[in-house]
Amino acid sequence: MERKKASAIDYLLLVPGIGFIVIFIGSSIYITVAQSFGLQSITGKSQFTLKFWADVFHDKESLDSILFSLKIGLLSSIATLLCSFPMALFLRKSGPGKRLLSTIIKIPQFIPALVAAFLVINLISYHGIVNETLMALHIIKKPLRMLNDKFGWGVVLIQVWKNIPFVLLILQGSFASIRDDTIDAAKNLGAGYFSILTRIYIPLTMPGILISMILMFIKAFGDFAITSVAGPAYPPSIALRMRNTATLFQEWDKAAVLGVVIIAITLLITWLYSRLAEFVTGDE
């Protein structure tokens, strides 16, 4: 069957979507990259220089912010996947109460990130519900510091709670593509539950797993709302440091460098995940 060639009208239909990306997002990225090298300066004094890059990468606070956000992004994506995968497997087939459970799990998806952070604060604060319950049960003698801790466990906890519905939605789509007769055939051939899990479920859902981890990393790495509320006093997240550098210190060129770093690390992690997907699936 001969393939029909795209007409001018077909290309015009792409203009609203592609035009928005090219004009607005493309121009924003261009200006950010240019400002990081001293061009298109907001102060009006434009001159090519590597000074701002040198300042950022010789600044211990900026490096600490980059490493902190990278840690939060990786831990949040891994932890969210570990929590969501068993849920997606459990909800793969309909059953009594599963629809209600699925609805309850998806509630955080409709709560803004800033509101979610304040909600979880009431749970994990120094005298929050979790600490008071543990003390009442005589499990701990004094409250644990789970909020604004130096490592960032509070931020990871909120990220996981907020984004489980998002990752679960992707994984459920991957599980839906697995045919029941494939599982039945494996059982008839003597495969146990662990073999089915490692040789059928995980390999066949690997594209969904990698996509969810990539998107989850992007959300957690560049997050501003949650880390600004529940994050440690030091180091701030890279997004929070970028905002402070631009608005508080009026160093827009250094803020642009941090913006380019966010974009570059996100693209690098996405590329690494894609290479991992090719390795796992055997595609070259």
Judge whether 113 and 228 are in contact, CB under 8 Å: no
Q: How far is residue 163's CA from residue 235's CA, in Å, rounded to a whole number?
A: 23
Q: Which residue has the higher pLDDT, 91 or 280?
A: 91
Q: Region 140-155: what's the mean pLDDT?
A: 82
C-beta pairs of 106-112 under 8 Å, 24+ apart in sequence: 106/165, 106/168, 106/169, 107/165, 108/161, 108/162, 108/163, 108/164, 108/165, 109/165, 109/166, 109/169, 111/162, 112/225
Helices (H) and strands (E) in the chain, counts: 15, 0
pLDDT tens by residue, 63-86: 999 999 999 999 999 999 999 999
Angle, in degrees to the nearest 10, between helices 153-176 and 60-90 = 40
Cα torsion at 110, 111, 113, 117 (round to 10°)?
-150
H or E stretch at 145: none
Q: Where are the beta strands (DSSP E) in the chain?
A: none
**CA pair distance 32, 140, nearest whole angstrom:** 49
Query: What domains can be seen in the chain, in order of their start residue?
Result: 1-36 (no CATH), 50-281 (1.10.3720.10)
**Tokens 């991957």, located at residue:** 174
* Exposed/middle/buried for residue 220 (C-beta within 10 Å: 0-12, 13-18, 19+): buried
Give the per-residue pLDDT at 1.
Answer: 45
Name the CA radius of gyration of the chain, rounded.
23
The residue with greater pLDDT, 102 or 267, is: 267
The residue-averaged pLDDT of 1-22 equals 72
Give this prediction's pTM: 0.82
| pLDDT at residue number 202 | 86
**How does pLDDT run across 86-137, given as a tens digit for each residue?**
998 888 877 777 778 878 888 887 888 778 778 777 888 878 888 888 898 8
Residue 2 has pLDDT above 90, yes or no: no
Give the side-chain half-sphere CA count within 13 A for 258.
30
**Winning range, highest mean pLDDT, from 1-10, 51-60, 109-118, 124-133:** 51-60
Q: What is the pLDDT of residues 197-250, one digit of tens each?
A: 888 888 888 888 888 888 899 889 988 888 888 888 888 899 999 998 888 888
Three-point CA angle 25, 27, 28, nearest 5°: 65
